[in-house]
Structure 1
């Protein structure tokens, strides 16, 4: 009870001190200098930064403190630290005179223009030393920097961790939609990239330290600051199909306002909608949480596209998007951030496939010839206010709105039957997050989080299918209509006390949440309702949750981290009501060797309840030939997992290695009972005992100084054993092994020629009822760029695929950047060998699938870019 009362009221008897002054160098004010106040045991009492006049002011509590240490530092200056005794006078004036700093290491003077500079938790990397002048976007630049990985979907990792934010000159503009920035902002405007370790956006929480987040800050060239800048690109195909590329960048980066407008229109295979992030949910025991719930689609129309090849080789799509983002300081302690976007994809995809189900007693074969047409729009916006009330209070309010209408026309020749599918989807989403952080003591913080949201999806599907009509005993041209409305609305509050004392960091939190989900689908056959294939479910949950976290620094090198969550859930549907007590735990031992790296051993106990999609009482149509039904067995899904990991990062040597091994054992798991016929698939959801998996990941990044070569070697191994039932009365176990091997490299020669290369092999192996299947796909790429002069660079890109047969793609990019000119020109020669179709056979569990799709034919695209 006393903890609960502490969340509501807190009393703090303290002595307030105010310290202020100026920081300068030879009568020249130093802006953005850091000033930090410590007590005698090195706990942080407060901190601030100087304004453009070199002035700072800090309020702090001095209860039971006799003396403080105050430290001033600034980039390029000697750090200065002094000790001040506290007296009855609560106002202290203390100014600093900082001397310029020149450091010497191994008889080499460190200059501000060095390649990589490490200062505290910030790693600054000058981009000009790692680029070759062919990069078009920020993402292209990041791909070439050691220590930064850009995954295929655009997700960015730094030092092995997914980044929290992608900042521009220290400010956030796009939040989780940072791919809009990385994939579209001109890479030529960058001067440096900063990796920010121990990143924390909340200044009150930042005083506690020990954040595990990573962010990246983009530093722009000095001539791009305080002025309008940007570029416009116009491009048109001159050979083969009508290809085009138009884009626009407009930016203004100042202290008080940062603004970016980005737009793009092309038909080269890029998807505009894939740059928009989906909902973003995470629980962070020691920092701020974020909860965004979303519904799941019922009906699926598969495009037929294959992920083996890149989008520019296999996706037939017209894409358009524009986005406006800005961050401005309304007052010195009040900032406003906003981002809005519109994205449109119009995709046409043709494919052909044959499938054979190797099941008893008789295998089943089928063919599908698809003509898929998609129109996908994403419209949305986000507004965020950050208010630094004072040294003790910090408030953030974030509102997000999304609208995602989608139309699909899917024409399928299934065996000898023509099936037409028309889908019209409407999806509206609203999220609201409000955070209040309050410092109640030198090392104690209360973080209150209020959240609410709603996600509503309505799907209207019309199917004309002869074999479906025969199944329902209606005429051949009758329509099947399915309308599915899924929605979730919720409101919640979470409050946590974060305390730090010497070697212990402790968190205790309380969460209250009410959420309501609806899953309704009606089924009409020839305009007559069929209630046997309709569902109407409402799921209500009231959650009372407690969370406890404890970090203990056993020694300087040895840490213990324990987290426990306990939820009492009132779980209620129309036909079922029960209170569940859900316990989840996580315990880790972390051992840190300065030269060898960090070792972590963990155990997790995971418990969760089935979501509403698994509770349907009747079958519902989930594609033009598949029906699915949920389960009445509502029990927690339980599993135990054990893991070991090792991480080592040496930025100066540009060396890093990451290793992880995990084992997960499911007490019970979600599986399916499938009945496959010549025309249909009927699937029942079941919760069954058993199922386990092993995962092993390893990667090593190394820079060979003498060779001027950066390489990355990585592998991922996943072993899975899961129960499944297909056309039998008994469950059988599917044993699956998925393997990936990758080797890639980049050269940084000072000569005219440089290379990027890589080879990847994906293997899969499965065994089901003595049916063994093996797949292997190998891809190799080699990119050679040659600088004929300062203005003219040629890039030869070659991709090779080994599937059922070998496929070779050759592209050439010619870049002409006249010196002292605002114009630059590019010629793209795509798929010179004119490979226009590919075919692949894959064996998966009990299924053999052979598919073929068209590839984008050879074309030449000429673009001209004007930078201002």
Structure 2
């Protein structure tokens, strides 16, 4: 009980001292130097950073005659420490003169202006040595930095791990929505990229160390600091008149305030809404948690998009977005961060497909020609406050609002009849996170987390379908309406006590949560309510969760990690109520050596409840020809699985070489499966719970910078073998076995010559065995880019994409970049799809379904852009 009182008040019985002074080197002030004060037991009493004059000041609570150590460090300088004994004077003056540091790390010589600089947990990479002046955005720059990867959805990985945050000059502006920054900020403003290992945003939790998170910090060119900067881009098609590209960057980066406004409009297939995610739940037993729940979407209308080709080759859309973000220090210990955005995608997508369902007693064939039109908006705002009351109390408040209205008009020729679908959806989300971190004494930290939120999704669907109308025995042109409202509201409080001793780290935590979910469906056939397809269910869950985590260091290299969570869930629905006890555990061993890398062996056991949609007792229309329902008047079973994973990761002292390998096996107990019935016109899915199958996963990745030829290379393979039960037009479940294989080889050169190139070769394979039939699909694609610097002002780049499918496809794009010397203007010509590939066809055979699909491709065009930088 006494620990919860610390959430509201803090008592201090020690005398307060203030330590102040200046930090210099060769009579020059050092700003942003780290100053840490430790007591005799190496517990942190306070910390700060020097200002632009090299001055620092730290208030501490300590006793007279107590021995303290003041430690000062800064990038490029030798660390310096001094130990003093406190007197009864409240003001202590202590200045430091630091020496510049030059050292050798695995033949990487630290100089003033070096390519790669390593200091403790920070790797600094100068961007000018790894770019070729054709990069347009920060993401383009990051793609060329050794050790950093960009996944297809824009997620950034550094040293093989997904980054926690993307910082700008040490501060966070966009939190989890960092793709708004990476995909839109001008890449030319960057001076360096820093990989921050062992990253921890919470200064009190940072004192405990042992963070496994990674962040990336963007350093701007010095001439752009403390002034307004930005660029304006105007572009128009010169061959295809309907091509446009406009963008605007405005920024102000100062020590106390950082502000960015980013805007973009294009119709080249790059979606604005894809840069914004819906929610970001996370769980870390040793750090801060984040709970965000989502309401379930019911109705789905397939856009007919192709995922094999890139968006700029196959997506027909108009995209606009604008975002404003800032981070300001209201006081030295109080900061405010805010981000707001508006994104709009208007997409028109045509496609043609034929499908064969290889089911008993005879195969079923149908065709589908779609004219799909989408209007998708995303509007949101986030405010975050951070307040450091003193060295023992740290508060964070994070308030998030999101709105996602969406309209779909889907005109379909299904077999020989027309079907019209009009869908109007809206999604409101509100999340609130309040954190208080309190350092009790020694290495004990109490983290209190209060959260609440709501997510409401409404869907209004109108369908005119002769097949549905025949099914409901009404006129062929009659209208069917479906109105769905799904809402989830929740609140909770969680406290955890984190204790760290010499060889032991222990966490004990408790969470109390209450949530209410409502699923309502009104189904009108010819303006008459059909009760057989109406659903009105409420679910309530009250839960108490207990966490226990334990880490023990047998040696400096060898550690034990054990985590157990017990969840007592009182579940109540319209059909039943029951108290569930769910157990989740994660236990493993870690051996971490600088010479051999990190080895991990883990076993996990997981118990969960199915989605509440499993209790929907009447059919819901989930597409214009598909129905789905749950289990009728039955309680939810507990789903469970267990897995064992062996992994190894090794990275050299720099980013030049790393390998990662993992092998895992998962055995599923009871799982949520589907009983599927396919007719000539409809698909019916019933929820079922059966014994699950098992799966094996193997991943290997090798990243290497070959110094002799100045090339960064990557070799990667992913192998997944899955056995799962399936039931389609049959009386019993049978196992379907599938092997998914991916092979990737890539390389990027950094030659000190006028030319450079990069390439990627990817092959995806799938093999499926179902009943007595076997199927396989192989897709191979290669991407190659060659750039040539004709002189200091003119750069040419050729990009080729090759696809080997049922047919072979070749795309050739060219970019011409002209940047006059001492000019604020630059010019770029984009020539897209020079071979004018205009239609894509592919056939695939998966599970029991054979599909042939055809979509149009973006025709050849030329786009001229002019960019003005200020």
Task: State TM-score, norm by structure 1.
Answer: 0.97
Higher mean C-alpha displacement, 330-339 vs 122-131 = 330-339
State how far apart, in whole Å, the 1-side matches of 2:105 and 2:404 are: 56
Which residue in 2 is equivalent to 1:737?
739
Q: Show CA shifts across 1:289-345 (max 9, x none).
A: 111111121000000011000000000000000111111111111111111101000
Q: How does 1:522-533 map to 2 (within 5 A)?
A: 522-533=522-533
Closer, same or farther in 2 for the Cα pair 1:318/1:831, shift >3 Å?
same
Alignment of 1:623-772 (within 5 A): 623-631=623-631, 632-652=634-654, 654-772=656-774
| Residue-by-residue CA offset, 1:815-841 (whole Å, 9 max, x unaligned) | 111111111111111001110001000
SS at match of 1:309: coil
User: Residue 43 of structure 1: CA displacement?
Assistant: 4.2
Report the Cα distance in structure 2 between the residues aligned to 1:153 and 1:690, rounded to whole angstroms.
Answer: 30
Question: What is the match of residue 378 of structure 1?
Answer: 378
Give secondary structure in 2 for the equivalent of 1:706.
Answer: coil
Residue ranges of structure 1 left out of the alignment (5+ in a row): none
Q: Indicate the residue corresponding to 2:518 in structure 1.
A: 518
Contact 1:58–1:391, Cα closer than 8 Å, also in 2: no
Contact 1:791–1:819 (CA under 8 A) maintained in structure 2: yes
CA drift at 1:51: 2.6
Judge conservation of contact 2:524–2:530 (CA < 8 Å) in 1. Answer: yes
Contact 2:63 2:86 in 1 (8 A): no
Three-state SS of the structure 1 residue aligned to 2:176 is: helix
Aligned to 1:818: 820
Q: Deviations over 1:343-372 (max 9, x none)?
A: 000000000000001111111000000000
Q: Tell me, what secondary structure is at the counterpart of 1:140? A: helix
Residue 88 of structure 1: CA displacement?
5.9
Is the CA contact (8 Å cut-off) linking 1:22 and 1:56 kept in structure 2?
yes
Q: Structure 1: how far apart are the matches of 2:44 and 2:659? A: 33
What is the CA distance between 1:85 and its match in structure 2? 3.2
Structure 2 portions without partners, runs of 5+? none
Select 2:795's aligned residue among 793, 796, 806.
793
For the residues of structure 2 that align with 1:392 and 1:41, how far apart are their CA atoms? 16
Aligned counterparts, 1:208-247, within 5 A: 208-247=208-247
Q: Distance in 2 between matches of 1:455 and 1:845?
A: 35
**Separation in structure 2 between the aligned mates of residue 102 and residue 419 of structure 1, nearest angstrom:** 72
Give distance in 2, aligned partners of 1:64 and 1:412.
Answer: 82
Please report how far the alpha carbon of residue 109 of structure 1 lies from its aligned counterpart in structure 2 after TM superposition. 6.2
Map 1:567-586 → 2, pairs under 5 A: 567-586=567-586
- Other-structure match for 2:185: 185
How big is the shift at 1:635?
Answer: 1.1
Whether contact under 8 Å (1:61, 1:442) holds in the other structure is no
Distance 1:106 1:213 in 2: 24
SS in structure 2 of the partner of residue 302 of structure 1: coil
Change (3 A) 1:830 1:107: closer
Query: Comparing 799-808 with 38-47, which one deviates more in the overlay?
Result: 38-47
Matched position secondary structure for 1:199: coil
* Distance (whole Å) between structure 2 residues aligned to residue 7 and residue 343 of structure 1: 39
Contact preservation (8 Å) 2:249, 2:263: yes
- Whole-Å separation in 2 of the counterparts to 1:63 and 1:516: 51
Equivalent in the alignment of 1:470: 470
CA distance in 2, matches of 1:59, 1:292: 37
Note if 1:30 corresponds to 2:30: yes
* Offset of residue 60 of structure 1: 4.3
SS in structure 2 opposite 1:751?
coil
Structure 1 window deviating more from structure 2 (233-242 vs 694-703): it is 233-242
CA distance in 2, matches of 1:426, 1:196: 39
Equivalent residue number for residue 318 of structure 1: 318
Secondary structure of 2:226's counterpart equals coil
- Asked if the contact 1:45–1:442 (Cα under 8 Å) also holds between the matched residues in 2, the reply is no
Aligned pairs for 1:75-114 within 5 A: 75-86=75-86, 92-103=92-103, 110-114=110-114
Q: Distance in 1 between matches of 2:696 and 2:607?
A: 19
Equivalent residue for 1:775, pick from 772, 777, 781 = 777
Mapped to 1, the partners of 2:619 and 2:795 lie a distance apart of: 60
In the other structure, the counterpart of 1:201 is 201
SS of corresponding position for 1:385: strand
Give, in angstroms, the shift of residue 4 of structure 1: 7.6
* CA 7–396 in structure 1, closer or farther in 2 if over 3 Å, else same: closer
Q: CA deviation at 1:61?
A: 5.3
Deviation at 1:506, TM superposition (A): 1.2
- Residue aligned with 2:440, SS: strand
Asked if structure 2 preserves the Cα contact closer than 8 Å seen for 1:614 and 1:629, the reply is yes
Match of 1:395 in 2: 395
Deviations 1:179-211 (A, max 9, x none): 011000000000000001111111111111111
Q: Is the deviation greater in 185-194 or in 543-552?
A: 543-552
* SS of corresponding position for 2:36: strand
How far residue 90 of structure 1 moved from its aligned partner, in angstroms, is: 6.3
Q: What's the offset of the Cα at 1:551? A: 1.5
Q: 1:720-743 deviations in whole A, cap 9, x for unaligned? A: 111111111111001011111000
Quick check: 1:12–1:440 contact (8 Å CA) kept in 2? no
What is the CA-CA distance between 1:589 and the residue it aligns to?
0.5
Q: Any conservation in 2 of the 1:421–1:624 contact (CA below 8 Å)?
A: yes
The farther-off stretch of 118-127 and 83-92 is 83-92
Q: What SS does structure 2 have at the residue aligned with 1:703?
A: strand
Partner of residue 836, structure 1: 838
- Identify the residue that residue 446 of structure 1 maps to in structure 2: 446
1:39: how far off?
Answer: 4.0
In the TM superposition, 1:494-509 aligns within 5 A as 494-509=494-509
Partner of 2:156: 156
What is the aligned partner in structure 2 of residue 295 from structure 1? 295
CA-to-partner distance for each residue in 1:413-472, whole Å, 9 max, x for gaps?
111111000000011111111111111112111111111111101000000000110000
Tell me if structure 1 keeps the 8 A contact 2:425–2:458: yes
Q: Secondary structure at the match of 1:539?
A: strand
Evaluate the alpha carbon distance shift between residue 442 and residue 91 of structure 1 in structure 2; reply closer, same or farther with a 3 A threshold.
Answer: farther
> What is the CA–CA distance in structure 1 between the aligned matches of 2:544 and 2:12, rounded to whole Å?
28
Aligned-pair CA distance for 1:27: 5.0
Taking structure 2 as the reference length, the TM-score comes to 0.97
**Counterpart Cα distance in 2 of 1:832 and 1:774:** 32
- Offset of residue 31 of structure 1: 2.1
Residue 330 of structure 1 is matched in structure 2 by 330
CA distance in 2, matches of 1:41, 1:704: 46
- 1:510–1:488 Cα change, 3 Å: same
CA distance in 2, matches of 1:184, 1:651: 32
Q: Distance in 2 between matches of 1:310 and 1:614?
A: 36
User: 2:360 aligns to what SS in structure 1?
Assistant: coil
Alpha-carbon deviations, 1:773-796, whole Å to 9, x = none?
100000011111111111111111
Q: 1:693 to 1:241 in 2, by over 3 A?
A: farther
Q: CA RMSD of the aligned region, Å?
A: 1.9
Residues 471 and 448 of structure 1: is their aligned pair in 2 closer, same or farther, counting only changes over 3 Å? same
Distance 1:858 1:103, change over 3 A: same
CA distance in 1, matches of 2:13, 2:588: 37
The structural deviation recorded for 1:18 is 4.3
Distance 1:65 1:143, change over 3 A: farther
Q: 2:848 aligns with which of 843, 846, 854?
A: 846
